[in-house]
Amino acid sequence: MSISRRTVLAVAAGATAGAATPAQAAQTSAEREPDTSADALEAAADYAVEKLRAVAPGVSAFPVGTKFEKWVFSKDGDWVGGFWPGTLWMAYLRSGDDMFRTLALDSARKLAPRRFDTTTHDLGFLFSPSWVTAWRLTGDDTWGAGAVQAADSLIQRYNPRGRFIRAWGALNDPQNAGRVIMDTLMNLDLLAFASRRTGDGKYLDVAVAHAETAQRYFPRPDGSTPHVFDFDPDTGAPIGPNTVQGYSPSSCWSRGQAWGIYGFTTMYRRTGHRPFLDTARRLADYATGVLTPDAVPVWDYRAPQQPHDVKDASAGAVTACGLLDLSAATGSPQYRRVALRILTALSETCLTRRSTRAEAIVARCTRNRPAEDGIEVSLPYADYYLLEGILRVLQPKDVDRAIDLSTAAARING
């Protein structure tokens, strides 16, 4: 099914339903949270702010991960550059301290050259938590215009024959030209933003087409997903599942599953297209069904040693954010309950509180297990999504201002 341009533009204009918004619903739910969860999340948020208050003034580049508990940096941001200013924005919302606002803006400015980068699909990761949030919280149109420039770069990676955005490689590089990965779902909201800001539906048209393709080919009957699905770039014909960061093409990389839960829910909120919501629920039901009792995901839900395997706290933080969003979108409290279990577990068992050396907030993360790259380390997106998730619970109206939790008024039957 396709979504009409008229609907795309209506949604992009920001129409909202007359019922309570997700932020309002979350505010009501937050008033009923168990004291134990609320106390753990409050303490974790305050720990995060104090850690950032100590570390952030000395950071002049973009953290990409830790080595011996100290941040390792990238000058251009790699694919994770947006998470450092995004984390600073979350700290600003939590504390009201203008130091974090200043540092967030200074960090985001360093991403300016990446607006024109056509070699990666990760422009949403780079510019949504940094420039789009800066625009929403400051009103300075420089940030909004820059984010649209990044969206212009991203849509150049769209393959109209296969209706997908290629993940990796320069536009003129045939290698990986037909490779689609779960992560890209999280980059689509940058395109939704560009359509909303400009009134031009072309950006969201691409986002919807990619999401529909991912929805068709990634989910298995049980709701699990592979990391990668390959296509013939010349014809657009499907080739089959694959993986880079998961255990195998038939396994289920937990962070990829988390990207899918969050990404499909966001696409539902931006379009009102009910099948996206149904897909998000399928993925969420699988992930919550295989979650271990300690509520911290293993790095791959189908790896041979699971559930007794290496953990990935970053997958937990992303999953929790997606489940909170999904609970608000569906009105289903069970998703919120699991999200609170995960956030509480991360807050109580995965923070760096016991180390005087640690510069990050969250420990027990896994970047790329098959490559033996980044096992039991800290990762910038774990810090960002943990704070986002906690503030979705404790300060939903503030998070709404920063990342826009609104839901489209239009509801399209599949």
d(CA 402, CA 391): 11
Rounded to 10 degrees, the C-alpha dihedral 64/65/69/71 comes to -10
Q: Does residue 12 surpass a pLDDT of 50?
A: no
pLDDT value of position 202: 98
Crossing angle (nearest 10°) for helices 22-30 and 380-394: 80
pLDDT grade, residue 24 (50/70/90)? low
Q: Does residue 23 surpass a pLDDT of 90?
A: no
pLDDT value of position 36: 72
- Kindly state the average pLDDT of the residues 320-348: 98
Q: Does residue 56 surpass a pLDDT of 50?
A: yes
pLDDT grade, residue 22 (50/70/90)? low
pLDDT grade, residue 32 (50/70/90)? low
Catalytic (active site) residue 234: no
pLDDT single digits (tens) 368-392: 999 999 999 999 999 999 999 999 9
d(CA 32, CA 232): 51
pLDDT value of position 25: 52
pLDDT grade, residue 1 (50/70/90)? very low
Rounded to 10 degrees, the C-alpha dihedral 335/337/343/347 comes to -170
Q: Does residue 224 surpass a pLDDT of 90?
A: yes
Q: Does residue 131 surpass a pLDDT of 80?
A: yes
Catalytic (active site) residue 294: no
Q: Does residue 414 surpass a pLDDT of 60?
A: no
- Kindly state the average pLDDT of the residues 96-105: 98
Q: Does residue 26 surpass a pLDDT of 60?
A: no
pLDDT value of position 408: 79
Q: Which of 78, 152, 183, 300 is catalytic?
A: 183
pLDDT single digits (tens) 256-299: 999 999 999 999 999 999 999 999 999 999 999 999 999 999 99
Q: Does residue 178 surpass a pLDDT of 80?
A: yes
Report the half-sphere exposure of 21 (CA within 13 A, side-chain side). Answer: 17
pLDDT value of position 238: 98
Q: Which of 122, 309, 398, 400 is catalytic?
A: 122
State the distance between the two ends of the chain, measured CA to CA, in whole angstroms.
7
Residue environment code for 281-306, b if the CB has 16+ CB neighbours within 10 A, otherwise e: bbbbebbbebbeebbbbbbbbbbeeb
- Kindly state the average pLDDT of the residues 115-124: 98
As a whole-number percent, the residues of the chain with pLDDT over 90 amount to 89
pLDDT value of position 165: 99
